[in-house]
């Protein structure tokens, strides 16, 4: 009797919830890439242009600005494919450094618009902290309660548990990641830049003044 080889099915989801719905056996998170891995992924779109003497320094800097986030590396690399004018690469690098997600598909792929009305302001308030800053989950939930994003009419313990649940939901959506130790979370630099950019256009009944903007006076 011929032995039948076991087969495996690989599923890729943007949200961890997709893995849970499909009852996957093993869940593997795609973490941020190292500098060399990010560069190789970036060059897959157009290695000849990106590696040319005139473009390579700018392409390297742009790849670095993506912070190893595979989604950002791929989308930015695709957008710059075939562009040989140095000015276009300089403009792209300047916009990335200004925290402007000039590639519209990055905004779409981050799935901010798919967050419910409660999660959006909770997500945006995380950008009030500096880049790479690890935030205490309990502290973050307390801010959300104080701002009225979480209803405290039931009891404080229930509200805190709801806050912790929202943090986990944002982590599952890859909009927050683990901090420097247990009980802490932080934003990836690219996600932080996106949140800062989207704040002024937010339709929520709240307005934020983001940190790290080097303001001299309050506008």
Asked, for residue 8, whether it belongs to a domain, the answer is: no
Q: How distant is the alpha carbon of residue 86 from its chain centre?
A: 28
pTM: 0.62
Owning domain of residue 197 = 115-201
Among residues 108, 131, 147, the one where a domain terminates is 108
User: Same structural domain for residues 194 and 145?
Assistant: yes
Torsion of CA 180, 24, 74, 118, to 10 degrees: -60
At 116, list the tokens: 């419910």
Q: How confident is the model at residue 182 (pLDDT cuts 50, 70, 90)?
A: very high
Segment 82-89 mean pLDDT:
87
Q: Tell me: the pLDDT tens digits for 115-153? A: 888 888 899 899 888 888 999 999 999 999 988 888 876
What does the pLDDT read at residue 136? 94
CATH number at residue 63: 1.10.8
Q: How confident is the model at residue 206 (pLDDT cuts 50, 70, 90)?
A: low
The residues facing 135 across adjacent strands are 185
Q: Tell me: the pLDDT tens digits for 88-101? A: 898 888 877 775 55
pLDDT above 90 as % of the chain: 16
User: Same structural domain for residues 189 and 121?
Assistant: yes
The pairing of beta strand 177-178 with beta strand 135-136: unpaired
Does pLDDT of 213 surpass 80?
A: no
In the predicted model, what is the mean pLDDT of the chain?
79
User: Same structural domain for residues 179 and 104?
Assistant: no
Contact 163, 150 (CB under 8 A): yes
Asked, for residue 148, whether it belongs to a domain, the answer is: yes
User: Same structural domain for residues 53 and 98?
Assistant: yes
Edge-to-edge strand list for the sheet holding 135-136:
135-136, 184-186, 177-178
What is the per-residue DSSP string for 3-38? PPPP-------SSHHHHHHTT-S------PPPHHHH
Asked, for residue 145, whether it belongs to a domain, the answer is: yes
- Nearest by Cα to 112 from 212, 193, 29, 31: 193
Asked, for residue 27, whether it belongs to a domain, the answer is: no
Does pLDDT of 209 surpass 60?
A: no
Neighbours of 113 (CB within 10 A): 9
- Nearest by Cα to 93 from 64, 130, 52: 64
CATH number at residue 151: 1.10.10
Does pLDDT of 212 surpass 80?
A: no
User: Same structural domain for residues 119 and 197?
Assistant: yes
User: Same structural domain for residues 128 and 195?
Assistant: yes
User: Same structural domain for residues 77 and 53?
Assistant: yes
177: helix, strand or coil = strand
What does the pLDDT read at residue 15? 66
User: Same structural domain for residues 131 and 195?
Assistant: yes
Q: How confident is the model at residue 204 (pLDDT cuts 50, 70, 90)?
A: low
What does the pLDDT read at residue 3? 61
Residues 6+ apart with CB under 8 A from 185: 126, 134, 135, 137, 140, 167, 170, 171, 176, 177, 178, 179
- Nearest by Cα to 43 from 20, 62, 22: 62
- How many whole angstroms separate alpha carbon 176 and alpha carbon 123? 8
Domain count, the chain: 2
Asked, for residue 41, whether it belongs to a domain, the answer is: yes
């Amino acid at each position: 009797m011929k032995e039948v080889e076991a087969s495996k099915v690989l599923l890729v989801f943007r949200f961890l919830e997709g893995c849970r719905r499909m009852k996957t056996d093993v869940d593997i998170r795609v973490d941020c890439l190292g500098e060399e891995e990010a560069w190789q992924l970036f060059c897959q779109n157009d290695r000849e242009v990106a590696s040319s003497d005139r473009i390579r320094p700018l392409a390297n800097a742009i790849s670095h600005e993506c912070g190893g986030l595979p989604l950002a590396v791929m989308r930015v690399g695709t957008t710059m494919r075939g562009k040989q004018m140095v000015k276009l690469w300089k403009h792209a690098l300047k916009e990335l450094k200004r925290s402007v997600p000039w590639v519209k598909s990055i905004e779409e792929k981050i799935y901010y618009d798919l967050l419910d009305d409660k999660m959006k302001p909770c997500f945006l308030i995380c950008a009030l902290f500096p880049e790479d800053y690890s935030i205490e989950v309990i502290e973050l939930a307390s801010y959300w309660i104080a701002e009225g994003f979480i209803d405290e009419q039931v009891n404080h313990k229930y509200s805190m548990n709801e806050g912790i649940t929202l943090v986990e939901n944002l982590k599952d959506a890859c909009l927050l990641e683990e901090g420097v130790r247990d009980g802490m979370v932080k934003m990836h630099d690219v996600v932080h830049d996106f949140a800062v950019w989207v704040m002024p256009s937010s339709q929520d009944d709240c307005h934020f003044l983001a940190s790290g903007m080097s303001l001299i006076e309050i506008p």
